[in-house]
Amino acid sequence: MDTAILSASAGLIGSLIGGLSTFAASWVTQHKLLGTQTRMHHVGQRQKLYSEFIIEASRCLAEAWSHQAEGPEVISNLYSVVERMRLVSSSRVVKCAEEVMRGIIAAYAEPNRTFDELRRRVQARSEEYDQLREFTEACRQE
């Protein structure tokens, strides 16, 4: 075989291999980047949903402390957030959210309490006072 043809073939094959490896490396990098961005987007969505639940649950708990519910609409926003959690959250997070919602419904059913009773429970670090703790820990683990 002619050395010129052999040199040209080797150069052509080397260029082809170099181009393919560059393409493969670029494709793998972009694929991993897209996967990471998608995961980060989903994490951000869950964080926003969990924050919305915590804000709504805190509002309901504070209201339930001194008011009795007049109808189911007092927890409708909270219920909708829990249902949205079912779409994207783990079963443990949803279970904890349901427990918080049950506690809020029970708090609305109890007689009205005074601010002094709240102060005493906070000082005693009562578990009833901190109904959102298990939920927030489940969210953090997820």
At 48 the pLDDT is: 93
Of the ranges 18-22, 50-54, 124-128, which is most confident? 50-54
Please list the helix, strand and coil fractions of the chain in percent, rounded to the nearest 5, in that order.
85, 0, 15
User: Is 104 within 8 Å of 142 (Cβ atoms)?
Assistant: no
What the block records as the tokens of 18 is: 């170099």
Q: Where are the beta strands (DSSP E) in the chain?
A: none
* pLDDT band (50, 70, 90) for residue 19: confident
Which pLDDT score is estimated for 85?
Answer: 93
Q: Both tokens of residue 35?
A: 């996967």
Say how many CA atoms lie within 13 Å of 20 toward its Cβ: 6
The residue length of the chain stands at 142
**pLDDT one-digit tens code per residue, 52-66:** 999 999 888 888 887
Averaged over 33-53, what is the pLDDT?
A: 89
Mean pLDDT confidence for 45-74: 86
In angstroms, the CA 100 to CA 135 distance is 8
Confidence of residue 129 (pLDDT cuts 50, 70, 90): low
Token digits for 1?
């075989």
Q: Which residue has the higher pLDDT, 97 or 4?
A: 97
SS3 121: helix
Say how far apart CA 11 and CA 28 lie, in whole Å.
26
Matching residue, tokens 């519910």: 69
- Give the model's confidence band at 101: pLDDT under 50 very low, under 70 low, under 90 confident, else very high: very high
The pLDDT, as a whole number, for residue 1 is 61
| Confidence at 125, pLDDT banded by 50, 70, 90 | low
Domain range annotation of the chain:
43-141
Q: Which of 76, 104, 81 is nearest to 93 (CA)?
A: 81
